[in-house]
């Protein structure tokens, strides 16, 4: 089966979340002791008073674009901390976990001034291209449509890979069989060219599907060796980090967590759902950093040169509430965002926020 996995059940105790179908609410705190967070200093607040920041992407000048899930706004964060609106994305329908989700900046932005967004409409989830010429936001040009949409399990992360292709993480919209249906775009990781065409080397000819058998993927990150890692929400027992290989089937809805079923790829790491509900993931300074919603913490997982994963460390447990997005900055820091205004959290006075740490070297 070609699986590589590291079971962490010796560190994490299985705690079910009966009936937990979505991103998880902030229920009880962890039943296991957090690992001491020795690798990062206290975070610095980069921005505050945001409304459910979801996608974060950087322009070539180092300023950040932020997608607000429920408002449908794209906002720009300057180096001096000033936040301004660059425009509303038309057609966004926010309900439950859906709305304006992932953002990506074209690798050739200097010449094409294009950004990309993953959003929910009245009919579907889709990826659109928008022109941003510093004066305003252009009309969305749909490049990938027909991704199943619902109030839950919408996926939403989009990232350009080191190969120049655009990857999109989707959910099965609460319809479990879609994850195994190659004719559906739900419950998949998708790979397309920047213009929406399908790369000739995708594993299923003529299809944007890169991998299948996913429940709800909201995090994608490449390590220094070019390996693709994805976070995935479990149902009642196990959340996952998966090492993604083209054409592989990750088992949902027949497998949740490490199952050892022939034909399915087991996760690299699994957690009890109470410890994680893992959304965004970033690779910085030799580690994967995972933003946890229900788990209300940041996870650090060292990545070995051979792709082996070290023991996860739990950082800032319960200090900032629900965490949504983790992203590497152009200068080597790590940003992570809170998601306390998403209907499942308890907002602090200045939520939602973006915070920064600089991992110890």
Question: Position of tokens 């660059």?
Answer: 86
Q: Helix H segments across the chain?
A: 109-112
Q: Is the peptide bond before 125 cis (omega within 30 degrees of 0)?
A: no
- Which of 37, 42, 35 is CA-nearest to residue 357? 42
Contacts of residue 142, Cβ cutoff 8 Å, sequence gap at least 6:
126, 127, 128, 196
Tokens encoding 318? 């319960």
Question: Position of tokens 């990232």?
Answer: 159
The dihedrals phi and psi of 26, each to the nearest 5 degrees, come to -80, 90
Question: Position of tokens 């229920």?
Answer: 27
Segment 153-177, tens digit of pLDDT: 999 999 999 999 999 999 999 999 9
* Per-run averaged pLDDT (10 residues), the chain, 361 residues: 34 33 51 38 93 97 97 94 95 97 98 98 98 92 98 98 98 98 98 98 98 98 98 96 98 97 97 94 98 97 96 96 98 97 96 94 60
DSSP letter, residue 24 = -
Contact status, residue 331 vs residue 351, Cβ threshold 8 Å: no
Please, is 34 exposed, middle or buried when counting C-beta atoms within 10 Å of its C-beta (0-12, 13-18, 19+)?
middle
Contact status, residue 18 vs residue 280, Cβ threshold 8 Å: no
Tokens encoding 231? 């976070």
The dihedrals phi and psi of 176, each to the nearest 5 degrees, come to -55, -45
Pairwise CA distance, residues 159 & 332, whole Å: 17
To the nearest 10°, report the CA torsion of 279, 280, 281, 285.
Answer: -130
Give the pTM. 0.91
CATH class given for the domain over 51-271: mainly beta
Q: Which helix (H) or strand (E) holds 212?
A: strand 209-212
The phi-psi region of residue 352 (left if phi > 0; otherwise alpha if psi is between -120 and 50; otherwise beta) is beta
- Which of 125, 189, 176 is CA-nearest to residue 154? 125
Q: What is the DSSP string of 180-227?
A: G-TT--TTEEEEE-TTSPPPTTSSSTT--EEEE--SBEEEEEE-TT--
Res 4: pLDDT: 33
Pairwise CA distance, residues 199 & 204, whole Å: 10
The phi-psi region of residue 199 (left if phi > 0; otherwise alpha if psi is between -120 and 50; otherwise beta) is beta
């Amino acid at each position: 089966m070609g699986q590589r996995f590291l079971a962490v059940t010796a560190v994490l105790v299985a705690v079910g979340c009966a009936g937990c179908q979505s991103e998880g609410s902030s229920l009880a705190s962890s039943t296991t002791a957090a690992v001491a967070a020795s690798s990062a200093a206290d975070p610095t607040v980069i921005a505050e008073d945001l409304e459910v920041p979801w996608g974060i992407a950087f322009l070539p000048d180092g300023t950040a674009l932020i997608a607000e899930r429920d408002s449908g706004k794209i906002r720009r964060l300057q180096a001096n901390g000033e936040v301004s609106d660059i425009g509303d994305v038309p057609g966004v329908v926010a309900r439950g976990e859906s709305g304006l989700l992932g953002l990506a900046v074209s690798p050739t932005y200097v010449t094409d001034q294009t950004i990309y967004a993953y959003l929910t409409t009245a009919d579907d989830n889709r990826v659109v291209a928008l022109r941003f010429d510093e004066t305003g936001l252009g009309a969305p040009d749909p490049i990938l449509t027909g991704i199943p949409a619902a109030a839950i399990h919408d996926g939403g992360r989009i990232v350009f890979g080191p190969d120049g292709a655009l990857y999109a993480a989707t959910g099965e919209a609460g319809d479990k069989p879609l994850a195994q249906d190659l004719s559906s775009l739900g419950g998949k990781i998708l790979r397309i060219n920047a213009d929406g065409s399908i790369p000739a080397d995708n594993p299923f000819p003529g299809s944007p599907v890169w991998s299948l058998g996913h429940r709800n993927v909201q995090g994608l990150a490449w390590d220094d060796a070019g390996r693709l890692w994805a976070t995935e929400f479990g149902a009642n027992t196990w959340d996952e980090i998966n090492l993604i290989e083209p054409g592989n089937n990750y088992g949902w809805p027949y497998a949740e967590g490490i199952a050892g079923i022939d034909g399915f790829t087991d996760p690299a790491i699994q957690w009890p759902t109470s410890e994680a509900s893992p959304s965004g993931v970033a690779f910085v300074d030799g580690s994967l950093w995972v933003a946890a919603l229900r788990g209300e913490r940041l996870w650090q997982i060292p990545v070995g040169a051979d792709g082996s994963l070290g023991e996860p460390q739990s950082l800032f447990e319960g200090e900032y509430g629900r965490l949504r997005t983790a992203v590497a900055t152009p200068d080597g820091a790590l940003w992570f965002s809170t998601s306390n205004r998403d209907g499942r959290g308890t907002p602090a006075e200045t939520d939602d926020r973006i915070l920064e740490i600089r991992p110890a070297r």
